[in-house]
Amino acid sequence: MIKPHGANQLKPLYVEDDSARAALLSEAEKLPSVVVSSAAATNAVMLGGGYFTPLEGYMNVADAVSVAETMHTSAGLFWPVPIMNLLESDENLKVGERIALRDPNVEGNPVLAVMHVEAIETLNDTQRDSIIDKVYGTQDEAHPGVAAFKAQGNVAVSGPIKVLNFSYFTTDFPGTFRTAVQIREEMSKLGWEKIVAFQTRNPMHRAHEELCRMAMQDLDADGCLVHMLLGKLKPGDIPADVRDASIRKMVELYFEPNTVLVTGYGFDMLYAGPREAVLHAVFRQNCGCTHLIVGRDHAGVGDYYGAFDAQEIFDAQVPDDALLIDIYRADHTAYSKKLDKVVMMKDAPDHSKEDFVLLSGTAVREMLGKGIAPPPEFSRPEVAQILMDYYQSL
């Protein structure tokens, strides 16, 4: 395993000590409080779990703008995406006070974290537009990430936080949600040193399965961390519990024991394409992974990004010494009828389109909704059954 980003050891902001946490929870009930956005709440979850090491809390406007424009904080730390707590108003908060941050995603809005307010600033239109342009590459509010960012508000409340729970992720996904601390511990117990990470917000079909296998073989890796996003997605995406069940079934049936670790993290999808790919690399380094698979349209949505922009950003914009984790670059993958296996399409120059099993996401959803399993070359039958059951329940 490799060192965390910007530190010799992880810096999780979750208060582990039971008595200290109980005291903070008690104090929080008497503090001024604010219900934060889902984005700010999941930022807190990621900070709590050590995923955002070495950050100590939410960024101020200067750091957020600097990160957007240069991928470095004002102090020079490499970081690809602003980590902010944006509100619609200042809620009568005061600089220098301690406040309770309440969870918008759990009934009753329990306290998620306690924050020391270092700054309360208004993000002006120029600053907001610069962040959106650099992070998302568009101002189009049809882009789900842009829409979610704009909906949070323009008041940036920044400062260090102490995290008191992990929101709904520990209760809804007890077998899957893991902090970066826990992932390092589990991989250490397995004796893994060279580890490839696979990011997913979707179920895994044959191409994804074989891509993990290819990466492990090419890199002579000890194991693969299949790491799924458990937070909010755009309408129409498959819920996390369904993805979880289908991925676990695939791993159980088609991988050797102790070669794949299925876990999840508590974050809302940004759909920020290249910038989000770099963020994925940062927090997979914090998990201890040595490599991250970056494939076609990684973290993308619609037609906002080129097919391989998320690979190219590592060459064009990420300094050589910025990260310890390496990128495993994947091409389009598909099942070859000629070779009777999944291949990277660039490795089969003698193939025509008809030599591959190619199905669009729309076509697959229509088939599943009608109770028709995609061909076994595209999806394992056991995985297809779980997805068919879901689509037919809608």
Q: Please give the positions annotated as active site.
A: 201-202
Q: Which two tokens stand for residue 201?
A: 């917000």
Q: How many residues does the chain have?
A: 394
C-alpha to C-alpha distance for 311 and 296, rounded to whole angstroms:
8
Question: CB neighbours of 65 closer than 8 A, spacing ≥ 6?
Answer: 82, 127, 130, 131
DSSP 8-state assignment for residue 354 = G
Distance of CA 138 to the CA centre of its chain: 20
Phi-psi region of 324 (alpha: psi -120 to 50; beta: other; left: phi over 0): alpha
**Are 323 and 285 a contacting pair, CB within 8 Å?**
yes
Using alpha carbons, select from 269, 258, 268, 281 the residue that is nearest to residue 198.
281
For residue 29, give the 3-state DSSP assignment: coil
**Are 25 and 100 a contacting pair, CB within 8 Å?**
no
Q: Which residue is listed with tokens 């064009």?
A: 316
**Are 43 and 51 a contacting pair, CB within 8 Å?**
no
